[in-house]
């Protein structure tokens, strides 16, 4: 089994702290990562890649795709998630494009609650960049439920949530992101 990352959920901002705008959240996350020297390249054990970049652009992508509290909490585990993430599959974006999205899965405990995290590394001719993640509490392991199958059909077969569901056999409702 892959190691799991653990965070308290209070690393980047406290649970009673109110952030009023997307730009305020984004700036707080960038500052937090910068202060730790975490805006840099990381290695992934499963693929052997040693050039997965976490940058200010990564934070903008994460925030642009929804900055709920749970999603922001997971940023505190990015080094572990990237290092221990399990490669699932890749897709090419556009027929003539060199742009690819690589899907990975990792486990994270937030304040003791287990979560599955599906994350995307986007690759072009110059860089592999941490792009975004989705997460959910792990509710069940095993074959997808009928309910999960219906959600998969509705959500589209190429969503990060559905790729994680397909490869890991988890039955979470990944549309119910913590936060």
For residue range 27-65, list pLDDT tens digits in order: 989 999 999 999 999 999 999 999 999 999 988 887 777
Model confidence at 159, pLDDT cuts 50, 70, 90, reads low
Task: Give me the mean pLDDT over the 104-111 stretch.
Answer: 91
CA 30 to chain centre: 16
d(CA 47, CA 91): 16
Residue position matching structure tokens 């490869």:
167
What global pTM score does this model have? Answer: 0.77
Express each pLDDT in 113-131 by its tens digit.
888 889 999 999 899 999 9
d(CA 146, CA 67): 29
């Amino acid at each position: 089994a892959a190691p799991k990352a653990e965070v308290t959920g209070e690393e980047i901002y406290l649970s009673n702290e109110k952030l009023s705008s997307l730009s305020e959240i984004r700036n707080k996350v960038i500052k937090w990562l910068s202060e730790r020297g975490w805006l840099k390249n990381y290695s992934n054990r499963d693929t052997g890649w040693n050039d997965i970049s976490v940058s200010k652009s990564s934070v903008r992508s994460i925030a642009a795709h929804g900055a709920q509290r749970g999603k922001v909490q997971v940023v505190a585990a990015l080094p572990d998630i990237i290092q221990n993430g399990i490669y699932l599959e890749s897709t090419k974006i556009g027929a003539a494009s060199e742009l690819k999205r690589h899907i990975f899965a990792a486990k994270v405990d937030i304040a003791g609650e287990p979560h599955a995290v599906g994350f995307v590394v986007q690759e072009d001719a110059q860089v592999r960049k941490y792009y975004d993640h989705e997460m959910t509490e792990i509710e069940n392991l095993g074959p997808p439920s009928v309910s999960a199958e219906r959600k998969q059909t509705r959500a589209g077969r190429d969503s990060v949530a559905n790729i994680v569901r397909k490869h890991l056999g988890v039955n979470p409702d990944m549309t119910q992101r913590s936060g």
